[in-house]
Structure 1
Protein backbone atom coordinates (compact mmCIF):
# COMPACT_ATOMS: atom_id res chain seq x y z
CA UNK A 1 0.00 0.00 0.00
CA UNK A 2 1.36 3.43 -0.95
CA UNK A 3 1.81 6.30 1.51
CA UNK A 4 1.02 8.79 -1.24
CA UNK A 5 -2.32 10.56 -0.87
CA UNK A 6 -4.99 9.70 -3.42
CA UNK A 7 -6.26 12.12 -6.04
CA UNK A 8 -9.55 12.48 -4.15
CA UNK A 9 -7.63 13.31 -0.97
CA UNK A 10 -5.62 15.90 -2.90
CA UNK A 11 -8.85 17.48 -4.15
CA UNK A 12 -10.28 17.45 -0.64
CA UNK A 13 -7.16 19.16 0.73
CA UNK A 14 -7.30 21.76 -2.05
CA UNK A 15 -10.98 22.40 -1.33
CA UNK A 16 -10.25 22.68 2.39
CA UNK A 17 -7.56 25.30 1.70
CA UNK A 18 -10.06 27.24 -0.43
CA UNK A 19 -12.56 27.15 2.41
CA UNK A 20 -9.79 28.23 4.81
CA UNK A 21 -9.01 31.23 2.59
CA UNK A 22 -12.70 32.09 2.41
CA UNK A 23 -13.07 31.93 6.19
CA UNK A 24 -10.02 34.16 6.59
CA UNK A 25 -11.60 36.69 4.23
CA UNK A 26 -14.96 36.54 6.02
CA UNK A 27 -13.20 37.06 9.37
CA UNK A 28 -11.62 40.24 8.01
CA UNK A 29 -14.97 41.54 6.79
CA UNK A 30 -16.66 40.82 10.13
CA UNK A 31 -13.83 42.57 11.96
CA UNK A 32 -14.22 45.58 9.63
CA UNK A 33 -17.96 45.71 10.37
CA UNK A 34 -17.24 45.56 14.10
CA UNK A 35 -14.75 48.41 13.75
CA UNK A 36 -17.35 50.44 11.87
CA UNK A 37 -19.97 49.70 14.54
CA UNK A 38 -17.56 50.67 17.32
CA UNK A 39 -16.73 53.94 15.55
CA UNK A 40 -20.41 54.86 15.23
CA UNK A 41 -21.20 53.80 18.79
CA UNK A 42 -18.26 55.74 20.18
CA UNK A 43 -19.34 58.82 18.22
CA UNK A 44 -22.88 58.48 19.58
CA UNK A 45 -21.59 58.16 23.14
CA UNK A 46 -19.38 61.22 22.57
CA UNK A 47 -22.35 63.16 21.24
CA UNK A 48 -24.40 62.20 24.30
CA UNK A 49 -21.62 63.45 26.57
CA UNK A 50 -21.46 66.74 24.63
CA UNK A 51 -25.25 67.13 24.64
CA UNK A 52 -25.33 66.43 28.38
CA UNK A 53 -23.12 69.43 29.18
CA UNK A 54 -24.82 72.29 31.05
CA UNK A 55 -27.05 74.33 28.78
CA UNK A 56 -27.48 71.59 26.17
CA UNK A 57 -30.61 69.58 25.42
CA UNK A 58 -29.77 66.42 27.39
CA UNK A 59 -28.76 68.41 30.48
CA UNK A 60 -32.37 69.41 31.06
CA UNK A 61 -33.97 65.98 30.99
CA UNK A 62 -36.86 65.81 33.40
CA UNK A 63 -39.57 63.33 34.07
CA UNK A 64 -39.41 59.60 34.68
CA UNK A 65 -39.97 58.58 31.03
CA UNK A 66 -37.14 60.74 29.68
CA UNK A 67 -34.76 59.83 32.50
CA UNK A 68 -35.45 56.12 32.11
CA UNK A 69 -35.08 56.33 28.33
CA UNK A 70 -31.80 58.24 28.77
CA UNK A 71 -30.20 55.75 31.15
CA UNK A 72 -31.41 52.66 29.32
CA UNK A 73 -30.24 54.23 26.05
CA UNK A 74 -26.78 54.94 27.50
CA UNK A 75 -26.60 51.40 28.87
CA UNK A 76 -27.61 49.81 25.56
CA UNK A 77 -25.17 51.94 23.62
CA UNK A 78 -22.37 51.05 26.04
CA UNK A 79 -23.15 47.33 25.83
CA UNK A 80 -23.23 47.66 22.03
CA UNK A 81 -19.73 49.15 22.08
CA UNK A 82 -18.52 46.35 24.34
CA UNK A 83 -19.99 43.77 21.96
CA UNK A 84 -18.14 45.39 19.06
CA UNK A 85 -14.89 45.41 21.05
CA UNK A 86 -15.35 41.72 21.85
CA UNK A 87 -15.34 40.98 18.11
CA UNK A 88 -11.96 42.54 17.42
CA UNK A 89 -10.14 41.38 20.54
CA UNK A 90 -7.42 39.00 19.35
CA UNK A 91 -8.04 35.37 20.18
CA UNK A 92 -4.73 33.74 20.95
CA UNK A 93 -5.99 30.49 22.45
CA UNK A 94 -5.78 27.41 20.37
CA UNK A 95 -4.31 25.01 22.88
CA UNK A 96 -7.48 22.93 22.53
CA UNK A 97 -6.27 21.63 19.21
CA UNK A 98 -2.99 20.40 20.65
CA UNK A 99 0.60 20.98 19.68
CA UNK A 100 0.30 18.78 16.62
CA UNK A 101 -1.78 21.39 14.78
CA UNK A 102 0.72 23.15 12.54
CA UNK A 103 -2.00 24.96 10.59
CA UNK A 104 -2.83 27.29 13.49
CA UNK A 105 -0.04 29.85 13.92
CA UNK A 106 -0.32 29.71 17.70
CA UNK A 107 0.80 26.09 17.60
CA UNK A 108 3.04 26.34 14.55
CA UNK A 109 5.43 28.57 16.49
CA UNK A 110 6.33 25.59 18.71
CA UNK A 111 7.47 23.41 15.83
CA UNK A 112 11.05 22.81 14.77
CA UNK A 113 11.57 23.49 11.05
CA UNK A 114 12.78 19.95 10.32
CA UNK A 115 9.78 18.39 12.07
CA UNK A 116 7.44 20.67 10.16
CA UNK A 117 9.08 19.85 6.83
CA UNK A 118 8.70 16.14 7.59
CA UNK A 119 5.04 16.54 8.50
CA UNK A 120 4.29 18.65 5.44
CA UNK A 121 5.86 16.15 3.04
CA UNK A 122 4.62 12.95 4.60
CA UNK A 123 1.50 13.68 6.58
CA UNK A 124 -2.16 13.80 5.67
CA UNK A 125 -3.28 17.42 5.93
CA UNK A 126 -7.00 16.76 5.65
CA UNK A 127 -7.71 15.89 9.31
CA UNK A 128 -5.86 18.99 10.57
CA UNK A 129 -7.44 21.23 7.95
CA UNK A 130 -10.87 19.89 8.82
CA UNK A 131 -10.26 20.58 12.51
CA UNK A 132 -9.02 24.09 11.71
CA UNK A 133 -12.03 24.85 9.49
CA UNK A 134 -14.47 23.88 12.23
CA UNK A 135 -12.59 25.98 14.80
CA UNK A 136 -12.41 28.98 12.46
CA UNK A 137 -16.10 28.66 11.58
CA UNK A 138 -17.07 28.76 15.24
CA UNK A 139 -14.98 31.88 15.78
CA UNK A 140 -16.39 33.63 12.70
CA UNK A 141 -19.96 32.71 13.67
CA UNK A 142 -19.45 34.12 17.18
CA UNK A 143 -17.95 37.32 15.78
CA UNK A 144 -20.80 37.65 13.28
CA UNK A 145 -23.46 37.26 16.00
CA UNK A 146 -21.71 39.83 18.22
CA UNK A 147 -21.63 42.38 15.41
CA UNK A 148 -25.35 41.81 14.86
CA UNK A 149 -26.01 42.22 18.58
CA UNK A 150 -23.88 45.34 18.70
CA UNK A 151 -25.77 47.00 15.87
CA UNK A 152 -29.21 46.08 17.21
CA UNK A 153 -28.29 47.35 20.69
CA UNK A 154 -26.86 50.56 19.21
CA UNK A 155 -30.03 51.27 17.24
CA UNK A 156 -32.21 50.59 20.30
CA UNK A 157 -29.99 52.73 22.50
CA UNK A 158 -29.93 55.59 20.00
CA UNK A 159 -33.72 55.44 19.67
CA UNK A 160 -34.14 55.68 23.43
CA UNK A 161 -31.70 58.58 23.59
CA UNK A 162 -33.71 60.30 20.89
CA UNK A 163 -36.87 59.80 23.01
CA UNK A 164 -35.00 61.17 26.05
CA UNK A 165 -34.03 64.28 24.10
CA UNK A 166 -37.53 65.07 22.88
CA UNK A 167 -39.12 68.08 24.50
CA UNK A 168 -41.19 67.03 27.50
Structure 2
Protein backbone atom coordinates (compact mmCIF):
# COMPACT_ATOMS: atom_id res chain seq x y z
CA UNK A 1 0.00 0.00 0.00
CA UNK A 2 2.83 2.39 0.82
CA UNK A 3 4.40 1.76 -2.57
CA UNK A 4 1.20 2.67 -4.43
CA UNK A 5 0.74 5.78 -2.26
CA UNK A 6 4.36 6.82 -2.87
CA UNK A 7 3.92 6.33 -6.61
CA UNK A 8 0.77 8.46 -6.61
CA UNK A 9 2.59 11.21 -4.66
CA UNK A 10 5.48 11.15 -7.14
CA UNK A 11 3.04 11.37 -10.10
CA UNK A 12 1.14 14.23 -8.43
CA UNK A 13 4.44 16.01 -7.70
CA UNK A 14 5.61 15.65 -11.29
CA UNK A 15 2.22 16.86 -12.59
CA UNK A 16 2.42 19.86 -10.23
CA UNK A 17 5.91 20.79 -11.45
CA UNK A 18 4.83 20.42 -15.10
CA UNK A 19 1.76 22.57 -14.38
CA UNK A 20 3.91 25.26 -12.75
CA UNK A 21 6.31 25.31 -15.72
CA UNK A 22 3.37 25.56 -18.14
CA UNK A 23 1.79 28.39 -16.12
CA UNK A 24 5.12 30.27 -15.99
CA UNK A 25 5.56 29.82 -19.75
CA UNK A 26 2.03 31.18 -20.33
CA UNK A 27 2.70 34.22 -18.11
CA UNK A 28 5.96 34.96 -19.94
CA UNK A 29 4.16 34.58 -23.28
CA UNK A 30 1.42 37.02 -22.16
CA UNK A 31 4.04 39.55 -21.00
CA UNK A 32 5.83 39.31 -24.37
CA UNK A 33 2.54 39.74 -26.27
CA UNK A 34 1.69 42.79 -24.17
CA UNK A 35 5.09 44.38 -24.83
CA UNK A 36 4.81 43.65 -28.55
CA UNK A 37 1.30 45.17 -28.66
CA UNK A 38 2.50 48.28 -26.79
CA UNK A 39 5.46 48.66 -29.19
CA UNK A 40 3.17 48.31 -32.23
CA UNK A 41 0.86 50.99 -30.83
CA UNK A 42 3.78 53.40 -30.39
CA UNK A 43 5.32 52.55 -33.78
CA UNK A 44 1.89 52.93 -35.38
CA UNK A 45 1.51 56.61 -34.50
CA UNK A 46 1.59 57.99 -38.01
CA UNK A 47 1.24 61.07 -40.13
CA UNK A 48 -0.41 60.92 -43.52
CA UNK A 49 -0.93 63.61 -46.11
CA UNK A 50 -3.23 63.90 -49.06
CA UNK A 51 -3.35 66.46 -51.83
CA UNK A 52 -6.83 67.99 -51.86
CA UNK A 53 -6.20 70.49 -54.65
CA UNK A 54 -3.45 70.44 -57.23
CA UNK A 55 -3.14 73.25 -59.80
CA UNK A 56 -2.95 72.55 -63.52
CA UNK A 57 -1.14 75.78 -64.35
CA UNK A 58 0.82 78.51 -62.64
CA UNK A 59 -0.14 82.11 -62.01
CA UNK A 60 1.59 84.95 -63.90
CA UNK A 61 4.56 84.84 -61.53
CA UNK A 62 5.20 81.13 -62.11
CA UNK A 63 3.79 80.17 -58.70
CA UNK A 64 0.86 77.92 -57.81
CA UNK A 65 -1.06 76.79 -54.73
CA UNK A 66 -1.67 73.29 -53.48
CA UNK A 67 -4.05 72.36 -50.69
CA UNK A 68 -3.00 69.51 -48.42
CA UNK A 69 -4.64 67.61 -45.60
CA UNK A 70 -2.28 66.28 -42.91
CA UNK A 71 -3.54 63.73 -40.37
CA UNK A 72 -1.83 62.30 -37.29
CA UNK A 73 -3.32 59.02 -36.09
CA UNK A 74 -2.85 57.42 -32.67
CA UNK A 75 -3.87 53.76 -33.09
CA UNK A 76 -3.10 52.91 -29.47
CA UNK A 77 -5.43 52.50 -26.53
CA UNK A 78 -3.81 55.27 -24.51
CA UNK A 79 -3.46 58.99 -25.24
CA UNK A 80 -0.24 60.58 -26.44
CA UNK A 81 0.73 64.15 -25.67
CA UNK A 82 3.01 66.95 -26.77
CA UNK A 83 2.45 65.82 -30.35
CA UNK A 84 4.53 67.70 -32.90
CA UNK A 85 4.75 66.91 -36.58
CA UNK A 86 7.36 68.35 -38.91
CA UNK A 87 6.59 67.99 -42.62
CA UNK A 88 9.70 68.41 -44.78
CA UNK A 89 9.57 69.56 -48.39
CA UNK A 90 12.44 69.26 -50.90
CA UNK A 91 11.85 72.89 -51.95
CA UNK A 92 10.80 76.06 -50.17
CA UNK A 93 7.04 76.43 -49.76
CA UNK A 94 4.95 79.26 -48.37
CA UNK A 95 1.97 78.62 -46.17
CA UNK A 96 -0.99 80.75 -47.19
CA UNK A 97 -3.24 81.48 -44.23
CA UNK A 98 -7.04 81.58 -44.49
CA UNK A 99 -7.01 85.39 -44.61
CA UNK A 100 -4.61 85.31 -47.58
CA UNK A 101 -1.45 86.27 -45.67
CA UNK A 102 1.67 84.37 -46.73
CA UNK A 103 4.25 83.12 -44.26
CA UNK A 104 7.94 83.36 -45.16
CA UNK A 105 9.25 80.58 -47.45
CA UNK A 106 10.41 77.47 -45.60
CA UNK A 107 11.34 73.87 -46.39
CA UNK A 108 9.15 72.59 -43.55
CA UNK A 109 5.94 73.23 -41.69
CA UNK A 110 5.20 72.28 -38.10
CA UNK A 111 1.89 71.03 -36.74
CA UNK A 112 1.19 70.78 -33.01
CA UNK A 113 -1.48 69.12 -30.88
CA UNK A 114 -1.36 68.97 -27.07
CA UNK A 115 -3.09 65.56 -26.80
CA UNK A 116 -4.45 62.90 -29.14
CA UNK A 117 -6.65 60.36 -27.37
CA UNK A 118 -6.24 56.63 -27.85
CA UNK A 119 -7.73 55.58 -31.17
CA UNK A 120 -7.98 59.25 -32.20
CA UNK A 121 -6.59 61.49 -34.85
CA UNK A 122 -6.03 65.16 -35.62
CA UNK A 123 -6.32 66.69 -39.10
CA UNK A 124 -5.03 70.01 -40.47
CA UNK A 125 -5.70 71.55 -43.87
CA UNK A 126 -2.94 73.76 -45.27
CA UNK A 127 -2.60 75.79 -48.46
CA UNK A 128 0.97 75.87 -49.73
CA UNK A 129 2.45 77.93 -52.54
CA UNK A 130 5.60 77.14 -54.48
CA UNK A 131 7.15 77.57 -57.90
CA UNK A 132 5.00 75.59 -60.34
CA UNK A 133 8.09 74.26 -62.14
CA UNK A 134 9.19 72.52 -58.91
CA UNK A 135 5.93 70.55 -58.53
CA UNK A 136 7.57 67.19 -59.33
CA UNK A 137 9.58 67.42 -56.10
CA UNK A 138 6.36 67.15 -54.06
CA UNK A 139 6.61 63.38 -54.48
CA UNK A 140 9.52 63.51 -52.00
CA UNK A 141 7.66 64.98 -49.03
CA UNK A 142 8.48 63.35 -45.68
CA UNK A 143 7.33 63.85 -42.12
CA UNK A 144 8.24 62.97 -38.57
CA UNK A 145 5.87 62.91 -35.64
CA UNK A 146 7.25 63.30 -32.11
CA UNK A 147 5.23 62.69 -28.96
CA UNK A 148 5.30 61.44 -25.39
CA UNK A 149 3.71 58.08 -24.69
CA UNK A 150 1.68 57.27 -21.57
CA UNK A 151 4.89 56.55 -19.61
CA UNK A 152 6.22 60.03 -20.58
CA UNK A 153 8.91 58.57 -22.84
CA UNK A 154 9.72 60.65 -25.92
CA UNK A 155 9.05 58.88 -29.21
CA UNK A 156 9.61 59.87 -32.86
CA UNK A 157 8.28 58.11 -35.94
CA UNK A 158 9.37 58.98 -39.49
CA UNK A 159 7.13 58.67 -42.54
CA UNK A 160 7.68 57.23 -44.99
CA UNK A 161 9.53 54.77 -42.80
CA UNK A 162 13.25 54.36 -43.30
CA UNK A 163 14.87 50.97 -43.53
CA UNK A 164 16.85 50.37 -40.36
TM-score by length of 1: 0.27
TM-score by length of 2: 0.27
Name whichever structure is richer in strand by fraction.
Answer: 2
Greater RCO between the two (CA within 8 Å, min separation 6)? Answer: 1
